[in-house]
Amino acid sequence: MPVIDIHERSFRFACRIVKLHHLLAPRKIIALSLLNQLLRSGTSIGANLEEAKAGQSKADFIAKCRISLKEARESHYWLRLLDATEIVQTPQIAPLVQESNELVAILTTIVKKASASLHRHDFKADDEGPS
C-alpha cells in the first residue's frame, strides 16, 4: 500500500465527508445538525494542516497541528454517533470511522514529535547560556 502524505489523506477524508453530507442532508432532516457538525470538523482537519505548513514558527506549526488533531477527534465522535444511532448504516460509515481514527493516531504522533523537538531545542538554548 503506498504511503499517502497526511495533507493528501486529510483532503481525501474531507472530500468523503462532503459527499456523505451531500448524500444524506436532504433525506435526513433529523440528522442535519449532526451532519453539519461533521462537515465542519471533517473539513477543518486539512484546512488547519495547510495553515500549519505555513506556520510562522515551530510553536505555530504545533498549535495548528493540535487544532487538526482536535478536529479529527471531533469527526471521529460524530461519525461514531451517526453509526450508533443508525442514521447511517455501518457498512457505509465504517471506513470513515476507521480513517478518522487513523488520522487521530497520525496527528497525535506529529504533535508529540514536534513538541518534543521544540522542548529539546528550548532546553539546549537555555542550557547554553550567554557566550
What CA–CA distance (Å, rounded) separates 73 from 71? 5
Over residues 47-66, the pLDDT tens digits come to: 999 999 998 999 999 999 99
Instruction: Place 121 in a pLDDT band, splitting at 50, 70 and 90.
Output: low
Q: What is the reported pLDDT for 131? A: 38
Q: What is the reported pLDDT for 3? A: 59
Q: What is the reported pLDDT for 69? A: 98
**Residue that has been written with the C-alpha cell 538554548 in this structure:** 125
| Angle (nearest 5°) at CA 49 between 19 and 122 | 160
Over residues 5-49, the pLDDT tens digits come to: 999 999 999 999 999 998 887 776 777 889 999 999 999 999 999
